[in-house]
Structure 1
């Protein structure tokens, strides 16, 4: 059993379902409610920037230029996590290809290509277009350097974000 499977089992969440992120948010809503206010403000500037959120229901189109950032591996094998935050500029994969290649649902988008994608350790990170976060790193292939990745669509969570965080 993998670490992810053990964590999924202990939390009682089926990570293979389309609503995996929503299940976590609902199951641990009290944690999010208690942590709405940061203990101290984050310094904005330099490498720390505020991102905007898309409109409710926004579905990023195929070909949209996006950027992913993360601390995950840069290849599937023989790698250690990087010491610096990594980023790569990629594009959103059209919906039909996303469904065919990854079995994605309408709550997911796909982006990237072989050698330009997310990998182990990047989950939960942002997928940003311009100054707007359009996705959240969710899953990818077992060998992450062979294809793009799958992201939760932030536009589908917008109403929940507004209700939970007031933004």
Structure 2
């Protein structure tokens, strides 16, 4: 199947929204600022042709961490994806790679977006430089604390009302926004009609809204300091009061991530980076 036909069939507006219960987060940075890729050298964009699929992060020379819901609708066609690193422009510059292998978390629940985490293994490793570096992950079972200040970046829509199926509606330049971690009790109260998992998810945002990673991009990293503690997962809307973003807690999956990478590569060689953010 050729690329234009696949894009038409998938509608590309549905690639990051596997469930209409959620505004599934994503492709949107609201209230953010333009930033340079050197500020987030671990950030990558996942595209199908010129259409934004998701964001992601470089965690090893040949490995990208992202969300399972990013890949659900394109299973079997991951080899058509392009991964761009090292450029603030999503359409040119930097390092571009294709995908050799992918996996969703084995317990991924597409209804509740539980275990919303996935891995891509690239055909060739990235070449490191000032604008291409890995991001460190927390130790197993690490959980971010309420009021930790985190950062999310992406090439997502800046207006939730824009047609997500048109590539021209997506900004070419990288945007970023700061979002604080919220206490789980507060988030659970605001999302009382939805299922949240305290052991594997956390929320970040502002009570008054206005700034959000309403997909920022979906699958993109939530970084505290110089460590990726979350993956952008879902939310009900973009930058609305008491509707913060929900993130997959990377620290709860460190063992799964490392075990999976080792299993695919067959050794620990190539699992460490020469340069970290």
Alignment TM-score > 0.5, same fold: yes
- Paired residues of 2:215 and 2:232 also in contact (CA < 8 A): no
Q: Does 1:138 align with 2:212?
A: no
Correspondent of 1:21 among 85, 94, 116 = 116
Task: Note if 1:125 corresponds to 2:220.
Answer: yes
In structure 2, C-alpha distance between the alignment counterparts of 1:144 and 1:105, rounded to whole Å: 21
Aligned residues of 1:135 and 1:152 also touching (Cα < 8 A): yes
Q: Distance in 2 between matches of 1:42 and 1:10?
A: 23
Give TM-score, length-normalised by structure 2. Answer: 0.49
Largest Rg, 1 or 2: 2
1:153 aligned to 249, 258, 276, which one?
A: 249
Task: Give the whole-Å Cα distance in 1 for the aligned partners of 2:151 and 2:216.
Answer: 16
SS in 2 for 1:61: coil
SS of 1:124's equivalent in the other structure is coil
The residue number in structure 2 matching 1:83 is: 172
Structure-1 separation of matches of 2:219 and 2:162: 23
Give how far 1:99 is off: 1.6
**Cα root mean square deviation, aligned:** 2.8
Is 1:164 paired with 2:260? yes
Residue 116 of structure 1 deviates from its aligned partner by 1.5
Cα distance change on mapping 1:17 and 1:71 into 2, 3 Å: same
- How many corresponding residue pairs? 153
TM-score, normalization by structure 1: 0.77
Change (3 A) 1:71 1:9: closer
Structure whose residues are more often strand by fraction: 2
1:108 correspondence with 2:201: yes
Shift of 1:75: 2.5
Q: 1:10 to 1:161 in 2, by over 3 A?
A: closer
8 Å Cα contact 2:181-2:203 kept in structure 1: yes
Superposition deviation, residue 104 in structure 1 = 2.1
TM-fit CA distance, 1:41? 3.1
Aligned partner of residue 98 in structure 1, secondary structure: helix
Runs of 5+ in structure 1 lacking a partner?
none
- In 2, the alpha carbon distance for the partners of 1:128 and 1:99 equals 22
SS for the counterpart of 2:258 is: helix
Q: 1:89 to 1:47 in 2, by over 3 A?
A: farther
Structure 2: distance between partners of 1:89 and 1:47 = 20
Contact 1:60 1:134 in 2 (8 A): yes
